[in-house]
Amino acid sequence: MYCSIFKPGLFDGKLVIVTGSGSGIGRCVAHELAALGATVALVGRTPEKLVTVAAEIAESGGRARSYPGNIRDEDTVKALVAQIVAEHGHVDGLVNNAGGQFPSLLRGISKKGWEAVVQTNLTGGFLMARECLNQAMQRSGGAIVNIVADMWGGMPGMGHSGAARAGMINFTETAAFEWAGYGVRVNAVAPGYVASSGLDAYPPAMAELIRQAGKQCALQRMATEAEISAAIVFLLSEAASFITGAVLRVDGGRPNVRTGFPLEMQRKTAPFNGFHLARMPKVLAEREPE
């Protein structure tokens, strides 16, 4: 079972949508929410992954159902949210976790590639949030958590993703004001380097850069998926009822590191890992031979 730090039954009777829940952080969040009593609507592009996660949650005694679809398509999002509302009657939370990008310098990104990343990381999240508001949360309130990234100071090699994430932060701040009257809170979580399955999707040429990434933050390690999930769950919970329009950095102090000022040697902080199905990404577990 998931070992959450939050009290059992925290989300009893709640329906929470988690996009990109077929793997990585989204899968972890879905497990934690289900372990705390929520019914989780699993949204993603690959039906097989969602079915697998739903089965994992059921085996652990939780409740989840898969809703495959492409969040970049407006009609699909409208229909998907309508189906969830029709089946459950309410939507209490939304975790806009779906995202994706590919490594490239700005000069090498095509218009198609740029638009694909912006649509996934910004437009899709906007569509999901808007439909959850219009179809459900206007009546009963709710909480939305948008997942962004450590994009302060730019994202060299990922400029399309950095631009989209910056846009999502501004959307978060704007929606927090516009939707407050409906009792809807809108916040964001900005993960830094996370030891998640998504790392294995990058090309082999990036392997050593990925392995060294954790050393580039003040705490000198990567986050676990459970550490990101805990921040998301907190912002969804009633304990965060006076927090809206905020961005919670979960990045080990990465933006605080300054070039030319060396990090002092220190004992790494002990990671929290409550996710019982967590697995080390292959790129971190398998080093190239010397």
> Which CATH number is 213's domain given?
3.40.50.720
Instruction: Answer yes or no: is 8 within a domain.
Output: no
Instruction: Answer yes or no: is 94 within a domain.
Output: yes
Confidence of residue 138 (pLDDT cuts 50, 70, 90): very high
Domain region containing 226: 15-256+263-285
Instruction: Answer yes or no: is 179 within a domain.
Output: yes
Identify the burial level of 186 via C-beta atoms within 10 angstroms of its C-beta, where 0-12 means exposed, 13-18 middle and 19 or more buried: buried
Calculate ∠ Cα 241-152-244, nearest 5°: 10
Range of lowest pLDDT (31-40, 116-125, 272-281): 272-281
Instruction: Answer yes or no: is 212 within a domain.
Output: yes
Q: How many domains is the chain partitioned into structurally? A: 1
User: 290 pLDDT exceeds 50?
Assistant: no
State phi, psi for 93 to the nearest 5 degrees.
-150, 150
Dist CA 71 CA 87 (whole Å): 19
Instruction: Answer yes or no: is 251 within a domain.
Output: yes
State pLDDT tens for residues 216-266. 788 888 889 999 999 999 999 999 999 999 999 998 888 888 766 777 666
Instruction: Answer yes or no: is 269 within a domain.
Output: yes
User: Given this model, what pLDDT does residue 205 score?
Assistant: 66
Instruction: Answer yes or no: is 6 within a domain.
Output: no
Confidence of residue 60 (pLDDT cuts 50, 70, 90): very high
Dist CA 228 CA 88 (whole Å): 27
The average pLDDT across 143-171 equals 93
pTM: 0.89
Instruction: Answer yes or no: is 74 within a domain.
Output: yes
State pLDDT tens for residues 69-89. 999 999 999 999 999 999 999
